Chain A
Amino acid sequence: MNSHDSTGPASTGGAAPVGADAFLKGAAPPAPSTSPAAPVVMDKPDPVPMEKLAAVTTAASGDALLRVTDLQVHFPVTQGALVARKIGAVRAVDGLNFAIRRGETLGLVGESGSGKSTTGRAIARLLEPTGGKVEFDGRDITHLSARTMRPLRRDIQMIFQDPYTSLNPRHTVGSIVSAPLKIVGDLSGDALKARVRDLLELVGLSPEHLNRYPHEFSGGQRQRIGIARALATHPKLVIADEPVSALDVSVRAQVVNLLGDLQSELGLTYMFIAHDLSVVRHISDRVAVMYLGTIVEMADRAGMYEHPLHPYTHALLSAVPVPDPAKQHRRERILLRGDPPTPLNPPAACRFNPRCWKAEEVCRTVEPPLVEIQPGHQVACHFPEERELV
């Protein structure tokens, strides 16, 4: 499903550059990478404007740890009790292109059903991708068998959303954290015990907790156990699937900060999935916004939060509360009409068009490709535009 191929350069030449030109002439913001808040890793050396995404990711991410090309995950919908007939497919993830560089954090944001968790699980190979390609550390892992995937598992680990179901209630903390190490088989005996103690200390738990069971811990502590398990095998890539969504607001910051500290300490690469732009803002170097199985906008942090271009991103950002009551009162709140359409039968062309206030005829006939409008800022919209949100 090569959407950007099928639409072709002629159609994008008709629609997208108009908005882009207007934007570039009008606002002309400073280059996002010079923003003082952005970490140094964000320097993107060679912008390739107005190119297809595949070309962009190839050129810009020479040191990509993970590269995802046209990833699709479809779930068949079947009917019939004895002989299951396929009557359709839920297109949970439908043509994703992105890359994550070593040491960076990519935030993946979208509402329920946008396919963000499915993306994470497909990359961790807990789900079989329907199409496309997942390359990890230069190796195609898209369809590796369970056996050939096993040695790579230590390099890709997941942190799960719900710390109440992601820890086996019948195992002690010690056995939960040591399980990955036992499978990998590096350590045994005292070395294994010492490593588990180190891991618990690393995530801020006491080694005294080794013999306790998960139900004796709070949500935040449980999530720390999940983090310790994920880090046990020295992974290169950690996929955090909404790691703080199930936690009390009061402990969210602790866990996010812990993840940040661990990243700088251990040189981790994160894919941080969330449904909330404000959580991702703190930890991400780059952010991708998903809608109904596709990426609609991807930019570095400054670009995404200060100069968002896609109407859907505008709507999401306008939902983030502002600490200043006067500003909060003054600013515009974008309320989207209706619910996201079903991924069983997504809208034609631009998937956001039925809910978009800017939609025109072209949005219903031509799928907007994800193009780089500014250096490091890609958006899939026929009418991208910067908008004053606060």
Chain B
Amino acid sequence: MAVPVQLEPTNLTPGPPAVKPVAGRSLWRIAWSRLRKDKVALASAAFVILVVLVAIFAPVLTSIVGVNPDEPNYGLLDPNTALPAGSFGGMSSHHPFGVEPLSGRDVFARVVYGARISLLVASLATLLSVVLGTVMGLISGYVGGWIGGLIARLMDLLLAFPLLLFAIAIVAVIPDSAFGLNGNTLRLFILVFIIGFFSWPYIGRIVRGQVLSLKEKDFVAAARGTGAGSIRIMMQELLPNLVAPILVYTTLLIPTNILFEAALSYLGVGVKPPTSSWGDMLSTAAGGLFRVDPTFMVVPGVAIFLTVLAFNLLGDALRDAFDPRGGG
């Protein structure tokens, strides 16, 4: 009994277990094997990747099709109404999504370029809020005490803040140049900052809650017992356990931020024209043009809808895949 029984390659079990390479079945492998079986997740992921590629290669894509987002084509408009000539907003092999009323700019090019703004603002803002939320949540949960309490109350405060009103107000008062930036660069910077700064508490709360329960586990005590400092424990013991929830909430936060950027652009506090954004296109269409040219509203609307839906479905699928109680 004193000598522990050790399974050797020479044991009685048939088959090749000893030959098989002993690689750990990590959380990631388990999650991946579940994701692979989830068709909705795969489709969403494919769509997300497609949208990202479209945004990155927008100039290439538009030049292949032979269109330009800012070039007016008055010849494609009905001279009497200034609406696109032809059905479905002037759709043609040359202009697959039709052209804009009044100016005749190509809708496909504007949607493709709009994806850049939407994804850029949403992903940078999400990155900012994930970094802030993770750091603040870790400190708030692990350090605790009055510092932790203060951070927790700050999160409550930010979540209760009338963000949309604040954003409209701040964008309205910013000058054309500040912080060495100007024009749309400054606008983008401020959009990212506002959206990111006000959405970190969503991540922060989740991280804090997880840390509060994780730090009572004995593996943290064991790390402290070997002399690990607070930063080491937070980064090496706690953070690996937080990656899954952070990833899931990141994929759920991106669509929220896409919608938020669209809402701000819709309200006229996003990027300035002529730079196109989905929210701005919707806003122009909603001014009354949708009655006479619905295609002009449907195209950016569908773009927002499908992108947000894909991110949300992907986030849900990730959450299921990382759920330890899940099967597979």
Contact = CB atoms under 8 A, between A and B. Distances in A.
Contact of A162 (B7, B218, B226): B218
Given A170-B27, A206-B7, A208-B22, A126 B221 contact: yes
Contacts, number: 97
Given A170-B241, A171-B240, A121 B221 contact: yes
Interface in A244-288: 253-254, 257-258, 260-261
B6 interface: yes
A157 B225 contact: yes
Closest 8 CB pairs of A and B: A204-B4, A166-B218, A170-B240, A153-B227, A180-B226, A160-B218, A212-B24, A150-B227
Contact of A206 (B6, B217, B226, B237): B6
A183 B232 contact: yes
A211 B27 CA distance: 13
Interface in B1-34: 1-7, 22-27
A169 to B, nearest CB: 7
Interface of A: 121, 124, 126, 146, 149-151, 153-154, 156-158, 160-162, 165-172, 179-180, 183-184, 203-206, 208-209, 211-213, 216, 224, 226, 229, 233, 253-254, 257-258, 260-261
A158 B222 contact: yes
Contact of B229 (A146, A157, A180, A204): A146
Contacts of A161: 218
B227 A124 contact: no
A170 B236 CA distance: 10
Nearest to A156: B225
A167 B241 CA distance: 12
Contacts of A171: 240
Nearest to A167: B219
Contacts of A179: 223, 226, 228, 236
B6 A166 contact: no
A207 B126 CA distance: 42
B224 interface: yes
B227 to A, nearest CB: 4
A213 B4 contact: no
Interface residues of B, number: 31
B222 A160 contact: yes
A169 B228 CA distance: 18
A170 B25 CA distance: 11
A150 B22 CA distance: 35
Given A183-B228, A184-B227, A211-B23, A168 B4 contact: no
A224 B6 CA distance: 12
Q: Interface SS of chain B: helix, strand, loop or mixed?
A: loop
Contacts of B7: 206
A121 B222 CA distance: 11
Nearest to A180: B226
Given A204-B3, A258-B2, 18 more contacts: A126-B221, A154-B226, A160-B218, A162-B218, A166-B221, A168-B241, A169-B241, A170-B26, A171-B240, A179-B228, A183-B227, A183-B228, A211-B24, A212-B22, A213-B26, A233-B226, A253-B1, A258-B4
Contact of B4 (A126, A150, A224): A224
Contacts of A169: 27, 241
Contacts of A253: 1
A109 B56 CA distance: 66
Most buried by A among B22, B24, B232, B243: B24
A90 B7 CA distance: 47
Contacts of B229: 146
A322 to B, nearest CB: 21
Contacts of B6: 204-206
A151 B236 CA distance: 20
B44 to A, nearest CB: 26
B247 to A, nearest CB: 13
A166 B24 contact: no
Interface in B78-130: none
Nearest to A260: B2
Nearest to B228: A183
B65 to A, nearest CB: 46
A156 B217 CA distance: 19
Interface in B209-252: 217-219, 221-229, 232, 236-237, 240-241, 243
A126 B240 contact: no
Contacts of A212: 22-25
A49 B293 CA distance: 104
A254 B227 contact: no
A257 B218 contact: no
B222 A166 contact: yes
B4 A254 contact: yes
B225 A153 contact: yes
Nearest to B220: A168
A229 B222 contact: yes
A213 B227 contact: no
Contacts of A233: 226
A132 B5 CA distance: 44
A257 B218 CA distance: 23
Contacts of B237: 168
A165 B25 contact: no
A149 B299 CA distance: 65
Contacts of B241: 168-170
Nearest to B242: A170
A169 B25 CA distance: 11
A166 B219 contact: yes
Interface in B236-275: 236-237, 240-241, 243
Contacts of A170: 26-27, 240-241, 243
A257 B2 contact: yes
B226 A157 contact: yes
A160 B226 contact: no
Contacts of A160: 218, 221-222
B236 to A, nearest CB: 8
A147 to B, nearest CB: 9
Contacts of A226: 222
A354 B228 CA distance: 44
Nearest to A204: B4
B160 to A, nearest CB: 18
Nearest to B229: A146
Nearest to A170: B240
Interface in B190-218: 217-218
A253 to B, nearest CB: 6
B218 A165 contact: yes
